[in-house]
Structure 1
Amino acid sequence: MSALRLGLLQFHPVVGDIQGNRDRIAAMLQEAAGRGAELAICGELALCGYPPQSLIVDEGMLREAQHALEDLADGLPPGLVALIGAPHPTPDLRGVQNAAAVLTRGQVAGWADKQHLPTYAAFDEGRYFVPARHSFVAELPEARVGVMICADLWEPEPSAACAAAGVDLLVALNASPYSPGMQRRRESTTIARALEHTVPVAYVNLVGGQDGLVFDGGSHLTDHAGAVVARGPALEEAVVICDVDLSWSRRSARSEPHRRAAQRPAPGAVHVLPVQTGADPRVQPPEDGQPADGVAPWPGPEDHRWRAVRTALTDFTAGLRIDRVLVGLDGTLGAGLTALAAAEALGHERVVLVDALPESVAADDDRRAWTAAVVAAGGWPSSAAGTAGPDDGMPVALPLVHVAAPDPGAEPGDHTADALPLEQVVPDEDPAVRLIASRTTLLGLELAADAHEALLLSSADRTMRALGGGWPHELAGGFAPIGDLTRGWLVWIARWLADREDGALVPPESVLERAAETIGGPDPLHEPCATLDRVVEGYIDANHPTEVIVEREGLPTAMVLALADRIDRAELRRRSQPIAPRMSGRALSDDRRIPVVWRRGWP
């Protein structure tokens, strides 16, 4: 069997950290070579990180990237060819291309530049990069490899041009962020390309969190018959070793020459670069017992989302060198899940918990039971709140929870009378009182965060943020780990966590019911959150007109119009809220971009 052993290098690059990314790539290249790889492939812009945004026009970063590529080529193991995602200045130095550098030992042999530059959702590449005008084929001694970058794989023309040039393998370097069902779409695309051209397709993705994006890996190899024969893990770094059977693509070319003749590209449509490796690329599995990797299992929907939240929080704090985070436990489902995610991501010793429940909440209230369950499940010491010092990771009492008001029973003009908490003077359910209490709670959280030198985490969710709900102390902070998860998903994840922990973490039903039925805040909503989520997903994710949502969901027209109006009017509020990692098909404010000031001039 004529075979080529690949190394798919799936790792987390830090945007701008050229030297750190270079060193990580070099270590993975050595690992791949040690396991017999002949061709190693990184993800899209792995050398500088993705997305670099306006950093891509910084001449200092571009120079450092070129030096790093030269260093990698000098240290490349003999016989190994590497495809490294990196920025490529245009020949006239007036622009930059999103590219893959072709490295052989001692030199940067050539460049494969990206043709299709996405400018939608989280992508802004058309603003920063210059598109290529031709497809690219690297001609190794025994194999022709068509090289594409991310969106080039999703469009039919680049792969068809490579196939018509007689490639034995298609590879794609990607920076594909997580969204629901995305891995299924990735593999469906590689399967389609493999079946269209009867060639294997290798897909390499990044992992890790970057601002509001989470790259979740899933690098894989699809064979000529459309079967996924190797896959890397979700949300973990890995060197995925896989063997490509080259005989099938050549057999197809011999038996069906008319297919490729019919697809023959126009002159100049494909650039073919001869690449000398100094070694025979036909590789049999090594005799020392190093087999290729298999197909790693893919997590279920709750597990995948939960791990993505943890990854986003881990990489956000690591990238900013933040040692501690702080969470205010106010008895809500969102606050408890935020604390648990932080404990699993960072370790409970780096998470400061603050008791944000009003003193009026009874000791036997289910909100206190939920808070106690979170503290136990997260591994925090079970000592009473308020006993921790500023260097402990234990819960601390919240300063300034209540606003003082005069005792209504005091004599007029008696300035010595004790003040009472405001909620004892005015009913607790009064929205104005609760708003004042929430703002005071927020002040206390900020004071506690300053005292502990910690990043305050927001406990707001997607449903709350989309509809302009939530209290000030829930919405504020420096990062919102669950900010793009709908309320329905929070309930499902809470039940999944209870099953995962074998009953050690069981949210009280009243807490789950309250989360599923009410969006709190100065302007609350008391519709079932399942209904609200359907409207939010239809209006934002699917971009449906309100009349389509009414027809599909069977909801009253007035209700849908009112919710759509709330979503639109909440845009200014969302602009002042913290970064939330994307967990949906269309992230608020990042993917759905509308003006703050506008007026609907149509029904």
Structure 2
Amino acid sequence: GFPGNYTDHTIANAAALLGAGRVVGVHRKAELPNYKVFDEKRYFHPGSRPTVVTVKGFRVGVLICEDIWVPEPVRSARAAGAELLVVINASPYECGKQREREAIARARVTDVGLPMAYVNTVSGQDELVFDGNSFAMDATGEVCMRAPPFVEGLYRVDFVRERGRVVPRSGPVAAELSDEASVYGALVLGVRDYVTKHGFPGVVMGLSGGIDSALTLAIAVDALGPERVHAVMMPSRYTSQMSLDDAADEARQLGVKYSVLSIEDVHRDPRDAGRGVRGAPGGYHGREHPVALPDAAADGLVQQDRTDAADHRQQERDGGRLATLYGDMAGGFAPIKDCSKLLVYRLAAYRNGLGAVIPQRVIDRAPSAELRADQKDSDALPPYEVLDPILAAFIEEDLSVEEIAARGFDRATVGRVLDLVKRNEYKRRQAPPGVRVSRRAFGRDWRYPITNGYRRESR
């Protein structure tokens, strides 16, 4: 695939088919997606003709990605004489996407009665991960070969002519992964490609003793190896001994470089300087300081090591109030930013199933940012069993307060959560990128204004 020029100097999303050392055909993509993370109509002009070329006696119809998500380009290729469809793709991952791809492909091949080779790239690019999972499908919609996800490789499929029709020979069919396994694979690939393609020698990340940073550490090690990961615990007066012990245990089990950099002295001075502001040191500013100060401390290590900084913030912190600019939002890349809290727990259990690296009491303990004595996430947010489905309904399904409340949630709680999401848009605009794993994530496919002269209260 490449950006191809028309004679009028407009640009097409194009694919070239090579044979015998030369270009035997060029297809210009007809269907240009302009939704979610796609903006192709801004840059490309659509093609208007099918591309069918002869390769070793087979009439091959060449298509690109979105061309098969509607019937017309496939039917046009069949009408132009195609006996076999070859589709190249840069189809981004989201949980459950492979089932959707194969359902679409099945609808197309059964409609026109032709087999298909579906080829998808494998890579990470910013927040997008392309998971591969290429496959071959016969004209009845049966998958005859499927490559494994998240693994680059050369996978051969033989097409033969039988009784006047082209059919694919059966080959290995990789099993479909569980949701947890596929999300974890996407996170690992996203981290590996982000760090490696930028030429960073490794990452520095904060390790708090909590579930989010524990999972992020495991992902980083699985993506890069322990020799490229430096974990830093930055305790304050509110950090519990349990957190200190568990963070050290996690670093030891995964074999990473581990440092303890206390921020207590740094924390004390800003509190003294701010005394009397908004009433008391335990007020708003006092709560924010323990999170905000590690930014400067960790940045010194990042600059010293010339590494990238990994952020372990997840979706609820992006969506609600438990995220601090220049604090836990600091970093170069946020691997789990699109993971809900309940998904974080499921991923931790999945990773421990491969080999225990996250202490069980980290999973069992009540989540806390340890911003003040005896603080718990539940002090500021509804239980995650309530919060997660509300966020998913609003962010991924575009449901209103009334529609979400109709699912059995307290209306006042729904209104409060949605207000928090809207009020914190200014924070999300300043956040680092992270891997997209849901149908709709904060980032390229979430376009919500920061400033509104009129804002309706959701409550």
Matched position secondary structure for 2:2: strand
Query: Amino acid of the residue matched to residue 549 of structure 1?
Result: I
Q: Which residue of 2 aligns with 1:548?
A: 403
Q: Deviations over 1:165-198 (max 9, x none)?
A: 3321111111101001000011111112221122
Query: Amino acid of the residue matched to residue 406 of structure 2?
Result: E
Aligned in 2, Cα 1:543/1:360: closer, same or farther, shift over 3 Å? Answer: closer
Q: Which residue of 1 aligns with 2:386?
A: 531
Partners of 2:376 and 2:123 in 1: CA distance: 33
State the number of aligned residues: 445
Partners of 2:231 and 2:259 in 1: CA distance: 6
Is the Cα contact below 8 Å between 1:152 and 1:158 reproduced in 2?
Answer: yes
Is the Cα contact below 8 Å between 1:401 and 1:444 reproduced in 2?
Answer: no
Query: Amino acid of the residue matched to residue 260 of structure 2?
Result: A
Query: Amino acid of the residue matched to residue 400 of structure 1?
Result: I
Say yes or no: does 1:86 pair with 2:2: yes
Q: Which residue of 2 aligns with 1:102?
A: 17
Cα displacement (A) at 1:445: 1.4
Say yes or no: does 1:170 pair with 2:23: no
Which residue of 210, 229, 234 corresponds with 2:144? 229
Is the Cα contact below 8 Å between 1:217 and 1:235 reproduced in 2?
Answer: yes
Q: Which residue of 2 aligns with 1:346?
A: 224
Taking structure 1 as the reference length, what is the TM-score of the superposition?
A: 0.69
Is the Cα contact below 8 Å between 2:335 and 2:435 reproduced in 1?
Answer: yes
Q: Which residue of 1 aligns with 2:345?
A: 491
Cα displacement (A) at 1:507: 2.7
Partners of 2:195 and 2:439 in 1: CA distance: 24
Cα displacement (A) at 1:154: 0.5
Partners of 2:350 and 2:43 in 1: CA distance: 42
Q: Which residue of 2 aligns with 1:396?
A: 259
Q: Deviations over 1:441-492 (max 9, x none)?
A: 2221122222222211111001210224224432111110111111111011
Aligned-pair identity (%): 30
Q: Which residue of 2 aligns with 1:318?
A: 196
Partners of 2:222 and 2:296 in 1: CA distance: 27
Q: Which structure has the bigger radius of gyration?
A: 1
Q: Deviations over 1:423-450 (max 9, x none)?
A: xxx9997654331222222221122222
Matched position secondary structure for 1:225: coil
Partners of 1:485 and 1:582 in 2: CA distance: 8
Which residue of 577, 584, 588 corresponds with 2:442? 588
Matched position secondary structure for 2:100: helix
Matched position secondary structure for 1:229: strand
Q: Which residue of 1 aligns with 2:249?
A: 373
Q: For residues 78-477 of structure 1, what are the structure 2 equivalents within 5 Å? A: 85-92=1-8, 94-140=9-55, 142-247=57-162, 250=164, 293-358=171-236, 361-363=239-241, 365=242, 367-380=243-256, 394-398=257-261, 400-403=263-266, 405=268, 432-472=285-325, 473-477=327-331
Is the Cα contact below 8 Å between 1:402 and 1:440 reproduced in 2?
Answer: no
Matched position secondary structure for 1:240: coil
Query: Amino acid of the residue matched to residue 90 of structure 1?
Result: Y
Aligned in 2, Cα 1:206/1:468: closer, same or farther, shift over 3 Å? Answer: farther
Matched position secondary structure for 1:475: coil
Partners of 2:420 and 2:350 in 1: CA distance: 31
Q: Deviations over 1:107-138 (max 9, x none)?
A: 32331110010011111110000101122211
Partners of 1:427 and 1:336 in 2: CA distance: 33
Cα displacement (A) at 1:590: 1.3
Aligned in 2, Cα 1:432/1:491: closer, same or farther, shift over 3 Å? Answer: same
Q: Deviations over 1:529-579 (max 9, x none)?
A: 121111111111111122111112x11222111211111121111000001
Can you give the 5+ residue segments of structure 1 that lack an aligned partner in the other structure? 1-84, 253-281, 286-291, 381-393, 407-418
Can you give the 5+ residue segments of structure 2 that lack an aligned partner in the other structure? none
Q: Which residue of 2 aligns with 1:18?
A: none
Is the Cα contact below 8 Å between 2:15 and 2:27 reproduced in 1?
Answer: yes
Is the Cα contact below 8 Å between 1:232 and 1:296 reproduced in 2?
Answer: yes
